[in-house]
A and B are shown apart, each in its own frame.
Chain A
């Protein structure tokens, strides 16, 4: 049976290729240059790009025509500015709307106000700020690739803008390395506290206390923070992988692959920026007392009990006196 199918397949292929073979030669059997020459239309039917052999050492130059460049240009010039503006301005608008309706989430005072508890040790804060400072420069220099010539160049002139863009490009390529290292550090530091659980589902169902006055239970990180963590890790790795393929052209992919990498890199980039804007808002302006966690590393015990009750219990169970520190005391690290 298998033999029969393979025979049938062979016959089918022969039947399909027979007219093509006949076309190569003229009716009298002599080679006919008109019929036998390759042409653009035929080659584009075989493959999306036209490529051949080249005698210079640069093998990547063997690509004759890749019309996909036009499609990539369409993405970069017609769609990306709108997607990027929508993501960044949309998030800023949403945050502003949230601020003016909900207002700042205030610190709720209790008898434990004033006491401090260590939330992030110095290495955790170091990893966070290394990644964060790189991210700020990377996002600004990344947005410069899209919006610089539209917004900044008319203001400061082409020469000044070209110089600025040159340094922005250097910053983008070199600061990518500490950024990737920082993402790795944070992954190792916080993955154990960021495994999603049932409690996160309850937190999410109650709206995380963002809209009402309820404060659903949470461990060291609540569901919103876990989402930020996994976004930073996932997007960070994706940005690193796609970025590296652009830093090392032709190392892994061909020209069409690099176009796809640039599309992924830019799309994730603008969504990443929007996500981090929300993170910056809630970590500073949006919630009183939240910034201390990354600022000094110590948070108010009253704040911690409200927002991360399970974590405080856990810490207090570890040692009766250890993590609770009075005002002015230096935390033991």
Chain B
């Protein structure tokens, strides 16, 4: 099985936010919840870069470790998913997540904060693949249809790459060698404890 990862080539990202819109539309994500977001670093200064960030589907995911009800699980494709039936909305995954991926339907931690929502790598949840219940809770399951996450698939500059870790790392390495520069695979060190050496 593949080891699915995201890689954002910050030297190509033009902060168009199309990945954010694609994600929201594909999964009918409610207003105010952002499974994916684009952050601009050094905004307006020389060397400004934008990075599209969502759940990185970490190796040995911190969210899964700290969850007090063990609602997280890792699929055969190394995608980190969670069960909204078990989630109690405590917010611990948000403390542990290095990438700010977990989102909650309600602001504040007053008890009824709702079930956590995050990027599913377009692969749904624990319900049967492509079922109504799965779509209602987690959005569409593109992986089950043999497709990759929509955010990366429709990225206009092909900055955001999704797919098997080794394969997208190879694509990125080739790019860096050809153009002569690259600011690295953002978040990989924190998420996978590895960097792409060129």
Which residues of A are interface residues toward B (Cβ below 8 A)?
24, 31-34, 36-41, 43, 50-58, 60-70, 72-73, 76-77, 144-146, 148-149, 153, 158-159, 161-162, 165-166, 169-170, 173-174, 246-249, 255, 258-259, 262
Contact = CB atoms under 8 A, between A and B. Distances in A.
B84 to A, nearest CB: 10
A64 B32 contact: no
A37 B11 contact: yes
Main secondary structure of the interface of A (DSSP, over half): helix
Interface string B52-87: 010000000010011111110000000000000111
Interface in B100-133: 100, 107-112
A38 B49 contact: yes
A179 B41 CA distance: 44
Which range holds the interface residue count of chain B? 35 or more
Nearest to B20: A56
B98 interface: yes
B92 interface: yes
Nearest to A23: B47
23 contacts: A38-B183, A40-B183, A40-B189, A43-B41, A52-B40, A54-B38, A55-B17, A55-B38, A64-B186, A65-B187, A65-B190, A66-B98, A66-B99, A70-B62, A72-B66, A153-B69, A158-B70, A162-B88, A165-B69, A169-B90, A173-B110, A248-B109, A262-B92
Contacts of B92: 76, 145, 262
Contacts of B32: 57-58
Contacts of A162: 69, 71, 85-88
A165 B51 contact: no
B89 interface: yes
Contact of B68 (A33, A36, A165, A247): A165
B194 interface: no
